């Protein structure tokens, strides 16, 4: 059960978390969604479409929407993605219908996407004003390599390719992200991600509208209190 606060109001913000494979994005996003949900900030996770094969333990519609390359390419032609990218020989994309529908209803959405996709959103006149982006750094190249090996999901060749791509992503990502976090301590990184989200929520348009409404109510209550006192 959430303990909702008067400080926070859903206003259709798109939160973007990206960074190299193995940086810890998924774990941090899950922690942020759980803890922020308890104080009345639900973050809807948009499930990406991908052409890669489903891995052991994954579920269609929960981890990804798994589609063929021909289906994905037709979705690109149809303009069905707000962003899409070629990553490690596969294609990934975020559904325009799902995200824009939620944002139009005032729901806050969080994405776990590649730097290519984050750049596309940063260049969107429609989405950029309503988004906040966070780039997640691993603490070191060696630590990133260790994390990829410990996951046990990738071959040595795939790990090498991901490490090479990580260097490129780090160089590309710095110019347009709102925040950069180094995931050298999970608890610190988790609190930092939540702080970035909270900061955005506290200066959103709906928060300002609520603040003005609160000020008017205070004035009305004050006037009523003075009137009661004068009538005593």
CB 18 within 8 A of CB 121: no
What is 14-46+108-231's CATH number, 3.10.450.50, 1.10.600.10, 3.90.25.10, 3.40.50.300? 3.40.50.300
Residue 4 has pLDDT above 70, yes or no: no
The residue ranking higher by pLDDT, 40 or 158, is 40
Q: Measured between alpha carbons, how far apart are the two ends of the chain, in Å? A: 43
Res. 142 pLDDT band, cuts 50 70 90: confident
Highest mean pLDDT among 1-5, 68-72, 135-139, 209-213: 68-72
Length of the chain equals: 232
Give the closest residue to 110 by CA, choosing from 223, 225, 22, 26: 26
Q: How many CA atoms lie within 13 A of 212 on its CB side?
A: 6
**CA-based R_g, the chain, Å:** 21
CA distance linking residue 3 with residue 164, whole number of Å = 44
Range with lowest mean pLDDT among 144-153, 187-196, 207-216: 207-216
Give the closest residue to 153 by CA, choosing from 46, 20, 19, 54: 54
The pLDDT value recorded for residue 164 is: 72
The residue ranking higher by pLDDT, 192 or 170, is 192
Q: Which residue has the tokens 């899409």?
A: 84
The pLDDT value recorded for residue 1 is: 40
Interhelix angle 141-151/156-173, rounded to 10 degrees, is 140
Summarised one tens digit per residue, pLDDT across range 36-52 is 999 889 999 999 999 99
């Amino acid at each position: 059960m959430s303990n909702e606060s008067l400080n926070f109001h859903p206003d259709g913000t798109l939160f973007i978390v990206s960074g190299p494979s193995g940086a810890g994005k998924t774990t941090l996003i899950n922690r942020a969604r759980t803890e922020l949900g308890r104080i009345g900030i639900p973050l809807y996770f948009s499930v990406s479409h991908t052409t890669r094969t489903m891995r052991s333990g994954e579920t269609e519609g929960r981890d990804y929407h798994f589609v063929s390359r021909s289906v994905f390419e037709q979705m690109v032609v149809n303009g069905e993605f707000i962003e899409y990218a070629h990553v490690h020989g596969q294609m990934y994309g975020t559904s325009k219908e799902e995200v824009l529908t939620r944002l139009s209803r005032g729901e806050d959405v969080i994405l776990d996407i590649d730097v290519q996709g984050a750049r596309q959103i940063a260049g969107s006149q429609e989405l950029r004003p309503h988004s906040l982006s966070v780039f997640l750094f691993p603490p070191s190249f060696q630590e990133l390599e260790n994390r990829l090996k410990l996951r046990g999901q990738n071959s040595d060749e795939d790990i090498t390719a991901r490490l090479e791509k990580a260097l490129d992503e780090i160089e590309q990502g710095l110019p347009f992200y709102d925040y950069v976090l180094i995931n050298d301590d999970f608890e610190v990184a988790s609190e930092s991600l939540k702080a970035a989200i909270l900061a955005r929520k506290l200066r959103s348009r709906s928060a300002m509208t609520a603040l003005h409404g609160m000020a008017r109510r205070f004035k009305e209550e004050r006037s009523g209190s003075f009137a009661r006192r004068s009538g005593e």
